[in-house]
Amino acid sequence: MAIPEGEIRHGIRSARTTITDVARVAGVAKGTVSRALSGHPDIAERTRLRIRKIAARMGYVPLSQAQAIRTGRGRAIGLVIQAGDHDAYRPFLAEFLAGLSAAAASEGWTLSVTTADDIPATLDRFQALRQERKADGFVLTRAMIDDPRTDALIEAEVPFVLYGRPHGRRRAPAAWFDFAGETAMAEAVGRFAALGHRRIAYVGGGTIYTYSALRRAGYEAGLQMAGLPLDPALIQEGVLGRAAGRDAAAALLASDDPPTAFLYSTDMAALGLWRAARDRGLQVGRDLAVIGYDGIPEGAHAEPPLSTYGTDARLAGERLGDLLIRRIRGAPLESLRETAPATFVDRGSLCPPPNTSGS
Amino acid sequence: MAIPEGEIRHGIRSARTTITDVARVAGVAKGTVSRALSGHPDIAERTRLRIRKIAARMGYVPLSQAQAIRTGRGRAIGLVIQAGDHDAYRPFLAEFLAGLSAAAASEGWTLSVTTADDIPATLDRFQALRQERKADGFVLTRAMIDDPRTDALIEAEVPFVLYGRPHGRRRAPAAWFDFAGETAMAEAVGRFAALGHRRIAYVGGGTIYTYSALRRAGYEAGLQMAGLPLDPALIQEGVLGRAAGRDAAAALLASDDPPTAFLYSTDMAALGLWRAARDRGLQVGRDLAVIGYDGIPEGAHAEPPLSTYGTDARLAGERLGDLLIRRIRGAPLESLRETAPATFVDRGSLCPPPNTSGS
DNA sequence: ACCCTTGCCGAAACCGGTTTCGGGCGCGAC
DNA sequence: GTCGCGCCCGAAACCGGTTTCGGCAAGGGT
């Protein structure tokens, strides 16, 4: 039984095809194979094509570990999850990871994840993963104002992309992906105004995150476009989580001239409105209008369900993964900045203000 | 300025210490350093200690990639998340990852995660990660009956651990960690019975998972211990998710002799009871008693909150990570099997049956 | 006809580890 | 006093890649 020519691999258990195998079959030096596959200009076009074809036929994939020891890069993207962080984004995590790993896999990359409890621990994990060459760059979730993570990574010349946009005094040069929360907020105000609302409250999220200022600005822009005054008494900031969302709503409802519409910058906080409303004998979707932001699944199970601007966590993961890989490969920052729109999901928590008959 | 002796590393940016550096300082061959650190018996105890101390002082950590190319193992554990899977466990994901990565980090290992939409894709990911040596073994979430993943991994001689216990005709030899769901179920029945309930319904989860049979058996054991008959009319199986949980409850409530207590094998399904009850003018915690299982955060925000048997996802991750690493290092299967108790969290969804005054 | 580029590729060093092989040395046995 | 045997360790090969260096041949210019 002669070995079939071409050495085509079959079966699951077979050992890897190495660069030496390819070189032998192609009748060239292994250095030539390496250069041909990585697109080195020194190799003639004819030769490159021939080697590429042979490598593909033999199912050759360079072992990233072996590459890493010479090049320092192992085709892996890193993600450090803030475990002690507020759990607002946890429902998205699976989707986000799915997008990220899909983007990675489509380029033959993989994903290393770790968790850390706080910022110093996060920086340690960056360092460790980078030192071990188990991540060539990082995805940073939830961009913060004057983000210490970006400072550290820029200092160490490690590539990264931001989920969210950089902001703050020392605004770091960064690649990023973000949903246009400010547009959503402005549009939401417009929706309320179109229904006849004139007292529209805004409940903002964690002020250390850069999304906060953006969404707040969108709210204010929306008021201006609708010709409504900006009333500081209708604004609450730094509201994270359901309990805080309830307290914020309770405080707003307790005023002399309470709002009839509530714009929350996070769904999780928005869900706190239900109880605050019930405590005053009011019902969301009949007496009060509310719009949230994020699109968390729990919102769909409230009574009535929460209307919101949904963000596609899987898309975010995909885009961020793609941007990071391109960044690591050397693409300039300016070409690596994207926003996507948040899409309105009307579930029934909107209504006209109480004492208005029709529009 | 002479270079300080001992070559102690300082600062964040410094290049890695390599085995050659250590060998030079210790005045031995690098092969000796390698053997000393990996505990090879050929090295004298005195020498081993001396080299260990020097390596520690210089902050030397072997580059896993370089080891991997020779040994085939890169100190990484793999996790393939079923993205298309029912989202019941998603709330836990962050905690679970935190536990896994903590276990990995404590041994100097890392975690590679990917997602896949179905079983064949999952097997592909196993293969790819293994082939690329980016995972030395895998954690399998949600053990299934006659699990095709275990078959494939055993066949390929790849180490793995199971979250859940193996079950089925071809029960695979495996290492595992699991919470004692059957004990929780039996105990829950006892709680209901102690309150005076005699019609206790059981709503089981996905029948392809091995937890299903275990929890069902616990329910039946609980009935027996309480001296209650087993009534098939009180049992629903294959109920996954809130909507299905509602339908199951509605069907049970529509019978001639409806149950007064509901034991759900998953919290997510249990949350469906609230709407089914309201549709019949009943209120959970007053007219109906319910206990769930899992301990998802949403349960705490229902009205009244859902009493449940909580599982500690972080603990699960930690234990599974530890077991897998030991498995990869060659520990025998029999020593790598653990269960932990689920802990009862009383939040107020329990009550005596309606037409009973006191106990 | 000669020299100098330039294009293309082979040979070998190198990356940072592990593992095989063999040899020096100390020791006890004969 | 040898011989033989184990204990330790050095030297070198090896893993699977990348990269440097240099040489050969073809082509162009004078």
pLDDT at A298: 87
C1' of D19 to CA of A71 (Å): 10
Other CB atoms within a 10 A radius of the CB of residue B238 amount to: 13
Q: How far, CA to CA in Å, does B72 sit from each of B67, B92, B108, B128, B133?
A: 7, 32, 17, 14, 6
pLDDT at A16: 83
Query: Where do the DSSP E strands lie in chain B?
Result: 76-82, 110-116, 137-140, 160-163, 175-179, 200-203, 235-236, 261-264, 289-294, 308-310, 337-340, 343-345
Chain A hits for B115, Cβ within 8 Å: 94, 97-98, 101-102
> What is the nearest CA distance from A65 to chain B, expressed in angstroms?
5
> Are A156 and B13 contacting, i.e. CB atoms less than 8 angstroms apart?
yes
The DSSP element (H or E) to which B313 belongs, if any, is helix B313-328
Rounded CA-CA distance A52/B99 in Å is 43
Rounded CA-CA distance A335/B177 in Å is 47
Question: Half-sphere exposure (CA, 13 Å, Cβ side) for B162?
Answer: 31
pLDDT at A6: 38
pLDDT at B7: 39
Residue B89 pLDDT grade (very low, low, confident, very high; cuts 50, 70, 90)? low
B/e letters for B3-22, b = 16+ CB within 10 Å, e = fewer, are eeeeeeeeeeeeeebbbebb
Q: Is pLDDT of B172 > 80?
A: no
> What is the nearest CA distance from B357 to chain A, expressed in angstroms?
30
From the alpha carbon of A32, which nucleotide's C1' atom is closest?
C9
**Quick check: helix, strand or coil at residue B293?**
strand
> What is the nearest CA distance from B50 to chain A, expressed in angstroms?
24
The token duo for A285 is 């979707």
Residue B23 pLDDT grade (very low, low, confident, very high; cuts 50, 70, 90)? very high
Residue B182 pLDDT grade (very low, low, confident, very high; cuts 50, 70, 90)? very high
Chain centre to alpha carbon of residue A242: 22
Beta strands B261-264 and B200-203, pairing class? parallel
pLDDT at B298: 87
Q: Is pLDDT of B316 > 60?
A: yes
The token duo for B183 is 């004990």
B160, β-bridge pairs: B138
Taking CB atoms and an 8 Å limit, are B87 and A94 in contact across chains?
yes
Chain B hits for A104, Cβ within 8 Å: 114
Helix boundaries (H) for A27-147: 30-37, 45-58, 64-71, 90-106, 119-131
Please list the pLDDT of chain A residue by residue as tens digits (359 residues).
Answer: 333 333 333 323 447 899 999 999 999 999 999 999 999 889 999 999 999 999 999 999 999 999 999 999 999 999 999 876 655 556 788 899 999 999 999 999 999 999 999 999 999 999 999 988 999 999 999 999 999 999 999 999 999 999 999 987 777 799 999 999 999 999 999 999 999 999 999 999 999 999 999 999 999 999 999 999 999 999 999 999 999 999 999 999 999 999 999 999 999 999 999 999 999 999 999 999 999 999 998 899 898 999 999 999 999 999 999 999 999 999 999 999 999 999 999 999 999 999 754 44
Residue B193 pLDDT grade (very low, low, confident, very high; cuts 50, 70, 90)? very high
Query: Does any strand C atom come closer than 7 Å to the Cβ of A43?
Result: yes
Taking CB atoms and an 8 Å limit, are A63 and B69 in contact across chains?
yes
Candidates A234, A217, A224, A214; CA nearest to A190 is A224
**Quick check: helix, strand or coil at residue B125?**
helix
Higher pLDDT, B284 or A84: B284
Q: Is the peptide bond before A229 cis (omega within 30 degrees of 0)?
A: no
